[in-house]
Chain A
Amino acid sequence: MTTTTVTVPPTATLASTAAAEWWKLRSVRSTRWFLGGAAMIMLLMAMLESDDGDPTTNQAVPVAMGAVSYFVQYILAAFAMLAITSEFATRSITVTLVCTPSRTRIMLAKTAIVGSVVLVAGVLVTGLGVVASATRFDELGDLGVAQVVAVLKIGSYLALLAVLALGIGTLVRRTAGGLAVLLVLLLVLPEILSLVAERFGLDALGTAIEFTPTLAGSRFIGGEWEFGLVLLGWAAAGVIAGTWALSTRDA
């Protein structure tokens, strides 16, 4: 059979896969619950945190940072993880893979969308917290470039953490298991390792702990830019592990 006029149909690209991923996120209510929940908790913390009573210090950023390290980072990481584990739980991953057989492209598209959404949400939520607590502590006039940079750094930290969580979710596939691995990595591991390092006087181990995601995050936000690279490394490791798992294991 010969065809005379050939209409070349548009070929799917990374951009079209990313568009589909964006549509998937915006079309489930849980996205709004997660992001709204993060904002509510931030506001609550900004309202409840007590005044340090020292007029010379600026309290707004530390208050927002506290809310991020206690609550917001876990909410947004869980949100990122669910972007993939919910597909495994509902088996709709098969639909995704049939539409987009390239596992690498799916992983990159999810990383781009989840990372961007959490970056924007993280900056907005943190910014909201900073403004709210500055208002409360009558520090609004003190807000300047330093605070904006801090908010952007916290947003970047949250986005990179989200990408790591997405990678872990792709590797583990189950939400509960993925969250357990994430909590061990973020909370348990640094604590245990620092106890071990202290008990046995292992300085090298003590240094290594500084490279775990949460501690590297606080040093990055605290002004040590090189720790941003450490976070980037964690995120890249997550993406690579996720791509590997998606490519080599049966769906």
Chain B
Amino acid sequence: MTIVRCLDPGGYVNSGTVIRLTNLTKRYGHRTAVDGLTLELQPGAVAGFLGPNGAGKSTTMRLILGLDAPTSGTALIDGRPYAELKQPARTIGALLDAKAVHPARSGRDHLCAMALSQRIPFSRVEEVLALTGMTEAARLRAGTYSLGMNQRLGIAGALLGDPQVLMLDEPVNGLDPDGVQWIRTLLRSLASEGRTVFVSSHLMSEMEQTADRLIVIGKGRLIADEPIENLLASTGTRVRGPHLRALADRLDAALWTGPDELRVPGLAPEQVGALAHQLGLMLYELGPVEPSLEESYMSLTAASVEYGAGA
């Protein structure tokens, strides 16, 4: 996929914009939405921002965009707060709430007003409409759109300024499978052009396909900030065979997961296989336990689910 630049391609794009959050904290009354968040977003990668509903993902994005003022700490874009950016829409393209559109205004008029405020030519409006497959629907009033169409319009708005940073809050909500595939490809291609992509979701499976790095938060606090491979890394071995008793006796950590099946956390298949060979055991199956990202995520956030059942 090619992203058509709205201005001279030899221009200002691709200097690499860095977003840095330092001790970012936001309280609404007694509720702490974001709690001492410190992290840095680098260009050229898709950073997945994960957390259960109410974890503070949207608030963090609102703080970055200066929509809410932090209680303490800072959110800086290349060293400046958002409000001081000379070219906000060309620096960060954001989609916070796809439904935040006047229902009586057409999608095209919505984008035209955005373009006028940034002195972006209307030809760019047509480009982003084409890119998001909204050219036809753009003449209709936004009130008639489905959630998926609203998401596409919102993404068109975020892309309008051909920004260095793309920040999307739950962009796949309401999209059909084609739309989901489309957005994955789009995010990957934007990152490969050296842009910073920051995308939130409460669905781990979504991130597994898209993100290079995962930032997990719960109750406003940072829980994990790691390359996705780390979170996906093998954490154990599954082994199946008729006479595993001897193996289980030698491995303290081994757990019976079936009448002829053991799970050995913390050991690689190579180690378990070697031991089985030493003991002369016949094996039917030997392999790594690959926890799904979903599982690691659940275990990471279990303690911090804001509205958990029975909590």
Q: Would you give the shortest CB distance from B123 to chain A, in whole angstroms?
A: 14
In the complex, the chain B residue whose C-beta lies closest to that of A16 is: B119
B68 contacts the other chain (CB 8 A): yes
The DSSP consensus for interface residues of chain B is loop
> Given A11-B86, A90-B100, A98-B89, do A27 and B65 touch, yes or no (CB 8 Å)?
no
Whether a CB of chain B sits under 8 angstroms from the CB of A92 is yes
Taken together as a complex, chains A and B put the C-alpha atoms of A19 and B94 apart, in Å, by: 21
A94 touches B96 (CB 8 A): yes
Q: Which residue of A has the minimal Cβ distance to B11?
A: A7
- Give the number of A-B contacts (CB < 8 Å): 123
| Residues of A with C-beta under 8 A to B15 | 1, 3
Residues of B within 8 A of A21 (CB): 113
- Given A12-B117, A16-B117, A91-B99, residue A98 in contact with residue B7 (CB < 8 A): no
Q: What is the CA–CA distance of A21 and B116 in the complex, to the nearest angstrom?
A: 9
Q: Does any Cβ of B come within 8 Å of A29's Cβ? A: yes
Contact of A99 among B7, B101, B114 (CB under 8 A): B114
B97 touches A20 (CB 8 A): no
**Interface membership of A226, Cβ < 8 A:** no
Shortest C-beta distance, B67 to chain A (Å), equals: 4
Bin chain B's interface residue count. Answer: 35 or more
Contacting pair B116 A3 (CB below 8 A):
no
Q: What is the CB-to-nearest-CB distance from B124 to chain A, in angstroms, rounded to a whole number?
A: 12
Q: Please, how many angstroms separate the alpha-carbon atoms of A3 and B8 in the complex? A: 13
Given the known A-B contacts A19-B116, A20-B117, are A9 and B12 also in contact in the complex, defined by CB atoms under 8 Å? yes
On whether the beta carbons of B88 and A9 are closer than 8 Å, the reply is no
Q: Is the CB of A23 within 8 A of B113?
A: yes
- Which chain B residues have a beta carbon within 8 Å of chain A's beta carbons? 7-8, 10-12, 14-16, 62, 65-69, 82-90, 92, 94, 96-97, 99-106, 109-110, 112-114, 116-119, 157
